[in-house]
Amino acid sequence: MQYERNYTMRKALTVAWREFKHTAMTKAFLFGAIVMPLLMMGLFIVVVPLLTESNNTPLVGTVVVLAEDDVLEEITIQIERGNTTLTEVLEKLPDAITNDPIASALLATAPKSDITIIAGNPSELDSIKAQVREGIYKGVIVVPDSTVTQNGNEDKIEIFIPSSFSPNHTDILTSATSRAVVDARLKRLSHNPAAIRDLIRRPRATATRLSNDGAEIQDNEIARRIIPMAFMMLLWIATFTSGQYLLTTTIEEKSNKVMEVLLSAVSPMQLLGGKILGQAGVSAVILLMYGSAVMAGLLAFALGDLVPVLHLVLFAIYFVIAYFMIATIMAAVGSAVNELRDAQSLMGPIMLVMVIPMIIWPVLSEHPNGMLATITSFTPPLLPFVMILRVTASTEPIAIWQIVLSIGVGIVSVVAMIWMCARIFRIGVLMQGKPPSILQLAKWIRQG
Amino acid sequence: MSIAIDLTNVSKAFGETRAVNDLNLQIPEGSMCGFLGPNGAGKSTTIRMIMSIIHADQGDIQVLGATALASKDRIGYLPEERGVYRKMKVLQFVEYIANLKGMYGASLRKTIRTWLERIELPEVENKKCEELSKGMQQKVQFLAAIIHDPELIILDEPFSGLDPMNAQVIGSIIHDLHAEGKTILFSTHVLHQAEQICDRIIMIDQGYKVLDGSLASIQAQFDPRVLTIEPVDSSANFTSLPGVESVSAGKTNTSFNLRITNNADPATVLQEIVAKVPVLSARVAKPSLDEIFIEQVVRSRGSEAADAVRTELHHA
């Protein structure tokens, strides 16, 4: 057995390891921070397609058409063109998805319909309907000739289907019939529907930004809108989740009266340092977990180049600044109160400030170099959240001096906040009774 | 003999309240010292300063020949307010506290298991602390206070909340630790407990030290106002005897305690009683710590304050 004395760092690391172990290596954390998100992702990836599988079964059978011959022929053509609904959906999707090999492969596996179109006699409509009910036919389409004539939009096309017919299959018939009627109209006027369709197809416009250094960067909607928000959210979730743990474990140590036992072995600063270090590990685990999931998603859709390495490096720097700001605040609040509900009154004003980036992010994202964005990116404790948003949202690189200045202000703020919160912590951990007001906390800072 | 705890002119105030006033204390190594006083006397504040949990406003504190902070790992401390990590297993909790006290190594768990058997909790190592009864939690916390084999052990109300059986177990361990040469500072406001086990007494009141010395020397300092008489005839009447102020029942069925008047000499009154009434035994009673403390309060704060302290002591 070995005695180790006066090893300040070793004591802080002992506290840190306990803090990490009893937060991140628990069933509650595994369930809340890992299993739940995985379950949610699994729900979208596996369960939702399974639940909608019935809609994807191909439409197979015979459909009776009561229409003129040219219309019937057009309906047959449209049905044979395959799943027209799928074609329409594909046309609406952005290039990023339609060009993606995985997405294309998935779309290629979409089921195809196998429908036989036969002509029917309009006078036998009732008996055909009866046969549809009995399942002999999949449906009957009634197209009055007036709908094909130039001014015949007032008459309706009617499609009779069984009560159990799925919405997807209904779409196939309605979409094919509508297109067929339009094509029949055009042909009656001696036009070529395919040529006209090609003529009226709207070309896709892409914006390319010309930067001052001569480079041309293609504008990307996803990169411009979603990624900055994702970066900021990730920073927020990672820091506030572990900050919340720090708050509750500190309150627990006070309310369980174990604080005095701890302080008989370590100094308040060793305890505070250890706790912050331990929860930094928790925060890093959350960040890596969600961050790698996001990156894996981007890489899977061949969008990895939307997140340059420089952004990841800056993200890591701003994460450290954000974590220490939030952690010191949470530890100070936790040390000052005896119960979680007492913390609410102190957390109220703090949260009011901290949610500002979440509220103004659309403005910041749209004008990343605007006055509001610039000022808030130098204002602690908002600066790490705002600056990472600016860095990732801006179409032009943020001036280096602004990044360096914000990091400098961030580091100075972290040191100042550690100093203030340490003074509150030193007094707060031994305080019992009524929770202090903000003014009393300021007094503690002066006394400490 | 070297000094384990040396406080020189130590004072501490919280806002307007002065918790400790110009306190001087020297506790020799190897002593079993009772640190006594009513609630709010300043005991816990003094102990927290000795443990460097809080710092003195003025004065000097030396513990085991070094500063309080430097000696932290050589002190075992059981605070008055008991606390454990509710969700932690007993073995993990004691191991964690031992680690914080600088104790590591492969044999640590074996040592903890041996001690768990000694405090008669051999089956609880894998139980969560919240699953234990309050008394069991208290024993676990006592173990956490001494597991690192400290040279100085500070126990703040170690028996409060323990049933007689468990109090005996802990009392026996304290006795053994003292026999091994450990210095023990035993804080309590239950004065007769200290009277039974301590060889030295320090008493404070309102932040001031009011008594300091061995039990015998303290008892000798106080003029005894009570005579304990065991008469041959239990119906004997003492009230009419000169110098006797009042009579009350003694500790045994056949004895009486006679309080004598303030101006009478105890030895003279005793001689007169023995001359007039046949007795089996007669002696000048040693004042109890309760009586000494109340007497001290009367001297410093007046009889009204003494009544309040007397009530508090009776409720302890």
Of A7, A253, A256, the CB nearest to B102: A7
Residue A107 confidence (pLDDT) above 70: no
- The pLDDT score that the predictor gives to residue B80 is 85
What are the tens digits of pLDDT across the range A324-361? 999 999 999 999 998 888 888 888 888 898 889 888 88
Determine, for residues A264 and B79 on separate chains, whether the beta-carbon distance falls below 8 Å. Answer: yes
pLDDT interval class at B159 (50, 70, 90):
confident
Mean pLDDT of chain B: 86
Cβ <8 Å between B105 and A257 = no
Q: To probe the interface with A, which of B101, B103, B149, B155 has the most A CB atoms within 10 Å?
A: B101
Give the chain A residue whose CA is nearest to the CA of B149: A3
Contact indicator for B107, B63 with CB cutoff of 8 Å: no
CA distance A410 to A377: 10
Of A304-308, B3-7, B86-90, B226-230, the poorest mean pLDDT is in A304-308
The residue-averaged pLDDT of B223-249 equals 81
Contacts of A430 in chain B (CB under 8 A): 48, 53-54
Give the residue-averaged pLDDT of A276-289. Answer: 91
Q: What are the C-alpha distances in Å from B264 to residues B255, B272, B277?
A: 21, 12, 18
pLDDT digits (tens, 9 = 90+) for A213-266: 777 766 666 667 788 888 898 899 899 989 999 999 999 998 888 888 898 898
Q: pLDDT-based confidence at B58, cuts 50/70/90?
A: very high
Q: Is the pLDDT of residue B314 over 90?
A: no
Distance from CA of B36 to the nearest CA of A (A): 20
Strands B103-104 and A2-3, sheet pairing? antiparallel
The minimal CB distance from B108 to the residues A1, A6, A14 is found for A1
Q: Which chain B residues are within 8 Å of A263, Cβ to Cβ?
A: 51, 53
* Nearest residue of A to residue B45, measured between CA atoms: A430
Mean pLDDT of chain A: 83
> What is the CA angle B60-B65-B66, rounded to 5?
65
pLDDT attached to residue A2: 46
Contact by Cβ (8 Å): A359, A388:
no
Decide if pLDDT at A1 tops 50: no
Residue % of chain A over a pLDDT of 90: 25
The reply to whether omega before A381 is within 30° of 0 (cis) is yes
Instruction: Tell me what the mean pLDDT of segment B199-224 comes to.
Output: 83
Q: What is the dihedral of CA A156, A162, A164, A165, to 10 degrees?
A: -50
Mapped onto helix, strand or coil, the DSSP state of residue A53 is helix
Separation between Cα atoms, residue A216 and residue A172, nearest integer Å: 43
Residue A361 pLDDT: 85
Confidence band (pLDDT; 50, 70, 90) for A27?
Answer: confident
Mean pLDDT of A434-445: 83
Residues A420-427, mean pLDDT to the nearest whole number: 87
Q: Across the interface, do B81 and A14 touch by the CB < 8 Å criterion?
A: no
- pLDDT tops 60 at residue A96: no
pLDDT for A415 equals 92
Q: Which CATH architecture is the domain A59-200 placed in?
A: 3-Layer(aba) Sandwich (3.40)
Strands B200-205 and B208-214: antiparallel
Asked if the C-beta of B86 comes within 8 angstroms of chain A's C-beta atoms, the answer is yes
Alpha carbon distance, N-terminus to C-terminus of chain B: 34
A261 Cβ under 8 Å from any chain B Cβ: yes
**Is residue B123 helix, strand or coil?**
coil
* B46 has a pLDDT exceeding 60: yes
Inspect the interface and report whether the beta carbons of A15 and B100 lie closer than 8 Å.
Answer: yes
CATH number for the region B3-213 comes to 3.40.50.300
The pTM for the full model equals 0.72
Q: Tell me how close the Cα of B153 comes to any Cα of chain A, in angstroms.
A: 12
Give the pairing of strands B256-260 and B244-249: antiparallel
A1 inside 8 A of chain B by CB = yes
Considering only the beta carbons, identify the residue of A5, A15, A262 that sits closest to B102.
A5
- Average pLDDT for B39-63: 89
Q: Alpha carbon B117 to chain centroid distance?
A: 27
Chain A residues close to B104, C-beta within 8 Å: 1-2, 4
| Chain B residues near residue A260 by CB distance under 8 angstroms | 48, 53, 79, 81, 83
Which of B54, B84, B105 faces A258 most closely, judged by CB atoms? B84
Q: How many angstroms separate the CA atoms of B78 and B143, rounded?
A: 9
Comparing CA positions, the residue from A137, A139, A193 lying closest to residue A161 is A139
* Residue A219 and residue A206 in contact, taking contact as beta carbons nearer than 8 Å: yes
d(C-alpha B190, C-alpha B173), whole Å: 19
- Please check whether residue A422 touches B, CB under 8 A: no
More confident residue, A65 or A28: A65
Pair of tokens at residue A434: 């009524």
Q: Which residues of A touch B108 (CB under 8 A)?
A: 1
Identify all chain B residues contacting A269, using CB atoms and an 8 Å cutoff. none
pLDDT, position A208? 77
Per-domain boundaries in chain A: 59-200, 220-447
pLDDT digits (tens, 9 = 90+) for B90-102: 999 999 999 999 8
A267 to chain B: which residues are within 8 Å by CB? 52, 69
Per-residue pLDDT, averaged over B206-229, amounts to: 81
Which of A373-377, B8-12, B277-281 shows the lowest mean pLDDT across its residues?
Answer: B277-281
What gap in Å lies between CA A378 and CA B113, rounded to an integer? 56
Gyration radius of chain A's alpha carbons:
32
Give residue A50's pLDDT band: very low, low, confident or very high (50, 70, 90).
low
Task: Check CB contact under 8 Å for B83 and A261.
Answer: yes
The answer on pLDDT for B267 being more than 70 is yes
Residue, of A56 and B49, whose pLDDT is higher: B49
Residue pLDDT, tens place only, A356-413: 988 888 888 888 888 898 999 999 889 999 999 888 887 778 889 999 999 999 999 9
Domain boundaries, chain B: 3-213, 223-284
Band (B262; pLDDT cuts 50, 70, 90): confident
Classify domain B223-284 at the CATH topology level: Alpha-Beta Plaits (3.30.70)
User: pLDDT over 70 for what percent of chain A?
Assistant: 85
From the candidates A20, A29, A252, A264, which should be mutated to test the interface with B, based on the most B CB atoms within 10 A?
A264
Contact A266/B at CB under 8 A: yes
Q: Does the pLDDT value for residue A110 go beyond 60?
A: no
pLDDT of residue A166: 83
Q: Which residue has the higher pLDDT, A2 or A21?
A: A21
Residue A4 confidence (pLDDT) above 50: no
Question: Which region among A124-128, A176-180, A305-309, B169-173 has the lowest average model confidence (pLDDT)?
Answer: A305-309
Q: Nearest chain B Cα to A13, which residue?
A: B100
Contacts of A261 in chain B (CB under 8 A): 77, 79, 83, 97, 141, 144-145
CB pairs under 8 A between A and B: 78
**What is the pLDDT averaged over residues A313-320?**
93
Assembly ipTM:
0.80
The reported pLDDT for the residue numbered B96 is: 95
Pick the range with the lowest mean pLDDT from A31-35, B47-51, B70-74.
Answer: A31-35
Rounded Cα distance between A238 and A233, Å, is 8
